[in-house]
Chains A and B, each alone.
Chain A
Amino acid sequence: METGASPQQAGDATPPDVHHKIGQLTRQLHDTLHELGLAERLKGTAAELPDVKSRLSYIARLTGEAAEKVLNRVDQAKHQNDQIAAETRRVKAALVKDPVAAVAKGQIMNFLTDFEDANKGIDQHLTEIMMAQDFHDLTGQVIARVVNLATTIEEQLVELLIQTAPSGAVAKPSTGVHKPPLAGPVVDPAKEADVVTSQSQVDDLLASLGF
């Protein structure tokens, strides 16, 4: 096994398309980091190579569970609220019809007891909904670590490209801003042209097109 080959020699032995692909990958990652505003925050964290896939899966799982939990609690609270609303209408009608009988038969007291129970239940749901938001803190931390990892990978790819580039190779200029077919949510509208930032802007644009 040869161990004395210099990086330059190793580069000469590498097919050109590999350099091209690595270059493309590096450019894409660089652009992405730049769009995220992290281009200047490159840090050497090469010693850390955690499992990105499991981290991202963790984020997806945690946020999904939180959303599901909140929706379940909202369903339950709305159901309780509907029941109390119906009971209120019923007791109100009884009071209008015969106030003395409504009190004497215990309808008012029963209603107040039911109302108090429902109030406690709804309050518990609201507390759970509030607590479910903790995913934000947890996933935020994981996301920060994944971003750091992406930064490290970019640094390593750039270093790899430089070390293995053929002699006399000149980096091709970028053919333009990389724009995926679907860009997804706008993270920073101030840094992106030709995007809308509100529903009213969407409506104005559609109106200008005759819709």
Chain B
Amino acid sequence: MAELRFLVVDDFSTMRRIVRNLLKESGFSEADEAEDGVVALQKLRNSNFDFVVTDINMPNMNGFQLLAEIKKDDKLKHIPVLMVTAEARKEDIVTAAQQGAAGYIVKPFTKATLEEKLTHILKKSGLQ
């Protein structure tokens, strides 16, 4: 089975790096990154990804908008989207769930939390 390819979306380069490092430590070394939803959507449409990890509060196109674009695109809507964000309002979590997010992690988070969510989502999506 081919290695899963991740797209990490966050406007902070350090956060993208941290998430990519954590993914690598969890056994997922195939990852690309994008600084906002616009760039992410371009990459998703021009290449093949199996999983998206995205922040919410970003310029140009935020995580909710990116999620909505992914879910209304027949070629992309199967890709699980994990929200990793500092947005801690309940209504944001509910919105993410209603829009089809596969998971929601509030920053600051631990490696164990990320691994737990990844395992859960990958199993649920039939990717692992």
Q: Does B57 contact A (CB under 8 A)?
A: yes
Q: Does A7 contact B (CB under 8 A)?
A: no
Q: Does B79 contact A (CB under 8 A)?
A: no
Q: Rank and list the top 6 A-B pairs by shortest CB-CB distance, nearest first.
A: A67-B14, A185-B86, A182-B57, A195-B88, A186-B88, A194-B90
Structural contact, A194 and B86, CB atoms closer than 8 A: no
Enumerate A159-202 residues with CB–CB distance to B below 8 Å: 182-186, 189, 194-199, 202
13 extra A-B contacts, CB within 8 A, seeds A196-B88, A199-B106, A202-B106: A64-B13, A71-B14, A182-B56, A183-B88, A189-B88, A196-B89, A199-B109, A199-B113, A202-B104, A202-B105, A205-B93, A206-B97, A209-B94
* In the complex, residue of chain A having the shortest beta-carbon distance to the beta carbon of B89: A195
Structural contact, A196 and B93, CB atoms closer than 8 A: yes
Whole-angstrom CA separation of A206 from B21 in the bound complex? 27
Give per-residue flags for B5-29: 1 if the beta carbon is below 8 A from chain A beta carbons, else 0. 0000000011001100100000000
Q: Does B107 contact A (CB under 8 A)?
A: yes
- Whole-angstrom distance from the CB of A5 to the nearest CB of chain B? 44
- What B residues does A71 contact at CB under 8 A? 14, 17-18, 21
- What A residues does B62 contact at CB under 8 A? 182
Structural contact, B14 and A64, CB atoms closer than 8 A: yes
A interface residues with partner B (beta carbon < 8 Å) = 64, 67-68, 71, 74, 182-186, 189, 194-199, 202, 205-206, 209, 211
Structural contact, A185 and B107, CB atoms closer than 8 A: yes
Whole-angstrom CA separation of A64 from B104 in the bound complex? 25
Whole-angstrom CA separation of A205 from B97 in the bound complex? 10
Q: B14 contacts which of A68, A183, A199 (Cβ < 8 Å)?
A: A68
Whole-angstrom CA separation of A186 from B107 in the bound complex? 10
Structural contact, A202 and B93, CB atoms closer than 8 A: yes
Structural contact, B91 and A194, CB atoms closer than 8 A: yes
- Whole-angstrom distance from the CB of B31 to the nearest CB of chain A? 15
Q: Does B87 contact A (CB under 8 A)?
A: yes
Given contacts A199-B106, A202-B105, A206-B104, contact A184 B57 (CB under 8 A): yes
Given contacts A68-B14, A209-B97, A211-B97, contact A183 B104 (CB under 8 A): no
